[in-house]
Amino acid sequence: MRNGSVHHRPFFKVLIANRGEIALRVMRSARQLGLGVVAVYSDADRDALHVKQADQAVHIGEALPAQSYLNIPAIIAAAKASGADAAHPGYGFLAENEEFAQACKEAGLVFIGPSPQAIEAMGNKAGAKEIMRKAGVPIVPGYQGLDQGDEVMLAEAKKIGFPVMIKAVAGGGGRGMRLVTEAASFPDALRSARSEAKAAFGDPTVILERAIQNPRHIEIQVFGDSHGNAIHLGERDCSVQRRHQKLIEEAPSPAVTPELRARMGEVAVAAVKALRYEGAGTLEFLLDARGEFYFMEMNTRLQVEHPVTEAITGLDLVELQLRVARGEPLPIKQQDIKFSGHAIEVRLCSEDAAQDFMPQSGRMARWQVPDSIRVEHALQSGSEIPPFYDSMIAKIISHGANREEARGRLIVGLEQLTAFGVTTNQAFLMSCLRHPGFAKGDATTAFTGTHRDELLASRADVAFDTALAGLLLYVTNPRAPLWQGGRSLAATFPLPAKVEIAGHVHELDIMRERDGSYTVATGGRRDRFAIEQLDADAIRFRHDDVMDSAKFLRDVDRLYLQHRGIPLVVNDLTLAAPKAAASNGGDGKVRAAMNGRVVAVLVKPGDSVTAGQPVLTLEAMKMEHVHKAGIDGVVAAIDVAEGEQVTTGRIVVEIGAN
């Protein structure tokens, strides 16, 4: 499957058919090789950082991916318009799209990735498993048949034995994947998986696999070139996931011995050679408690988590991609690869972990990253997070001499990062890293589900958070005099305040003492603060003889506060008029829980529904969210259409009482 017999394929300007942090990542390595870089952008990304930092940028369409970043003719036209002679797909869906690789070839562009034939062979999960089975790679038992009838699928699932995993035959990223534990719930899960697969990949076909209980998710990074060389760069452990999408990745895996690494690496390299594969790829395996591993799929692209492999090998994987695409032989052999230390990466996502990881969009009012750790991102203060794309907004990567050092550095790096304005999973990631199970290296794919309540537990000292928030609202009140240190001769009296944090309302009294300190009373508790320094975005204070600090952003009656790395959003309700309780659908009106696209309307006017029955599905940032009826009744109106983009709070379905 080589691109012809001539290995030399020079190019001088690379178009990056992707957005955000991966576009900037590819730009960095391309420029180190002296190459020009071209960005593409949608309507939603007109002012994005990857557009500003490219040599050239070409507009390719409207906001939705199908009209822009997945629009192959528009991207090929952009390459021609800019004079690019190569295309790098990043790690989006186009990276595993044989039609895009073929279109590049036909347009005279060097596609920085494997051949269209290799992508096609490995892009279909059923076909890939058959190829790997013939190559002697262990395969998870399952069903990959052409007959996709509901009754056949259920019968095959029963043959395999529950629990089973439903997986979209095309694509990846956890889309079209459902774990089913019993036959009764299989039909609904099958429908949902097909719907998501069709929306994401244009193909509703699925396969079935035996669900291996509590496995590790281990992947092997491989490279091949047009000269027949193939290597592996060790494994990555990607077991910490939510919704079957990775959150934390590390290399090496705490569960992989040198002997097991050699076995898995040998299998992976044999597969690469059998395919005559060129470029970067990843073979993904499930590793059970006995040390047996089973092939799941091959990703014919660069992975989001490639920086941890770079950290422990000292190699630039994007540079290797570019060199292989130019027809150069791999510059290293297997025996030359050395592993040094340990690396861990977390994915910072714009989502609300407490609300089932619901995607979030909006304006990132303040964005600051630490200098002491590697952060891959494409943000700046004021950046808009659109609802149309993946929820991952940054990757934070640490490297240490050992795993514990890497874990500690990553926790500190997350504590120092500031993301105000859009809810992220920052606190959840820190909870994962600090959890004893993760610290011991025991995390499997069941980690977040098993420990969900612990990982989502709120800070123990809610009263302190409330008091600190009240103090900051008091001293940053634009209607009050600017804060000044020192003693005061004025008479003091408490000022009442009311704040809302995480949906809970707290009433408190704040008073400045004559010695210049402040007392905040709430719920029978009194906290005393002495402010040492107050800047526009940070406060330094003493509390119980401890000098401490916090970051903040005051936005009218909203306060963003981050103390010891944990971000809080505080609403000042002191002067707010009473408002009606927010509806959860109890009034019969089902409201959009997020900005998103309607992918399925599950009822029609006149249908009888019961409370809790699914009525509509929204999709945002690669996730589906099912909206349910709040009451028993009859569907009075459907206020949206499939394919329509809606905003948070919009009424989508109206239900009248029986």
Q: Which residues are catalytically annotated? A: 301
Sign of the CA dihedral running 183, 188, 189, 191? positive
* Sheet of 13-16, strands arranged across: 56-61, 36-42, 13-16, 86-88, 110-111
Give start and end residues of each alpha helix (H) in 3-124.
Answer: 20-32, 49-53, 72-82, 98-106, 116-123
Q: Are 321 and 113 in contact (CB under 8 A)?
A: yes
Q: Which residues are bridge partners to 638 per DSSP?
A: 653
Element (H, E) at 609: strand 608-609
- Residue 611 burial (CB count, 10 A): 13
String of b and e for 510-544 (b: at least 16 CB within 10 Å)? bebeeeeebbbbbeeeebebbbeebeeeebebeee
DSSP category for residue 587 = T
Residue 357 token pair: 């990881």
DSSP category for residue 576 = P
At residue 181's C-alpha, the angle toward residues 175 and 183, to 5°, is 105
For residue 214, is it left (φ>0), alpha (ψ between -120 and 50) or beta?
A: left
Q: Can you tell me whether residue 502 is helix, strand or coil?
A: coil
Residue 447 token pair: 């980690």
Residue 491 token pair: 């008479």
How far is residue 534 CA from its own chain's centroid? 35
Q: Are 626 and 617 in contact (CB under 8 A)?
A: yes
Nearest to 55 by CA among 109, 14, 111, 108: 14
DSSP category for residue 148 = -
CB within 8 A of 188, min separation 6: which ones?
none
For residue 356, is it left (φ>0), alpha (ψ between -120 and 50) or beta?
A: left
Residue 370 token pair: 């630490």
Q: What share of the chain is helix, strand, coil (3-state, %, to 5)?
A: 30, 35, 40
Give start and end residues of each alpha helix (H) in 165-305.
Answer: 186-201, 258-275
* Dist. CA 284–CA 298, nearest whole Å: 6
